[in-house]
């Protein structure tokens, strides 16, 4: 799909995915939307990777949410597809909390500029998940 997908189209697609009325055209549209999101994430990932190299960290990783996991998230939440924030992400894995604090709150925030922070270091995550989302 060469034309941009409108927010209205994305949210109508999300409603169909949530309701379970999905056809092959919907899957193609979802893939095109994910491609747009990945394109936007690529610039961010390049800047993040540059900072990671300067800090000599070993791991950065880009990931894309799968179609089944997008559909599952739509069905268990009220989030619209156009507002789903974790379709594509960059991840930096650091070995210790001090490394995270020094790194994420320092150089990385400087590179990214004005960003929102969600601290998930503390909390009752049963699977042991701990992170800071920027």
pLDDT, tens only, 68-123 = 999 999 999 999 999 998 888 777 777 777 776 666 667 777 777 777 788 887 77
Find where tokens 């990671």 sit.
52
> How many whole angstroms separate alpha carbon 72 and alpha carbon 68?
6
pLDDT, tens only, 2-22 = 568 999 999 999 999 999 988
pLDDT, tens only, 44-77 = 778 777 777 666 565 566 678 899 999 999 999 9
The pLDDT of residue 131: 79
> How many whole angstroms separate alpha carbon 134 and alpha carbon 119?
9
Residue 94 contacts residue 60 (beta carbons within 8 Å):
no
How many beta carbons lie within 10 A of that of residue 70, not counting itself? 20
> How many whole angstroms separate alpha carbon 72 and alpha carbon 55?
36
What is the rounded (10 degree) CA torsion for 41, 47, 51, 53?
Answer: 80
Mean pLDDT of 34-42: 86
The pLDDT of residue 1: 44
């Amino acid at each position: 799909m060469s034309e941009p997908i409108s927010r209205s189209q994305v949210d109508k697609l999300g409603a169909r995915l949530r309701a379970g009325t999905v056809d092959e055209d919907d899957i193609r549209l979802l893939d095109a939307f994910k491609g747009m999101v990945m394109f936007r994430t690529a610039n961010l990932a390049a800047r993040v990777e540059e900072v990671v190299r300067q800090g000599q960290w070993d791991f950065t990783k880009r990931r894309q949410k799968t179609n089944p996991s997008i559909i599952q998230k739509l069905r268990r939440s009220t989030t619209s597809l156009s507002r789903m924030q974790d379709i594509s992400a960059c991840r930096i894995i650091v070995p210790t909390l001090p490394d995270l604090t020094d790194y994420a709150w320092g150089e990385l925030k400087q590179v990214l500029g004005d960003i929102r922070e969600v601290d998930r270091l503390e909390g009752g995550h049963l699977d042991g998940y701990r992170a800071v989302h920027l």
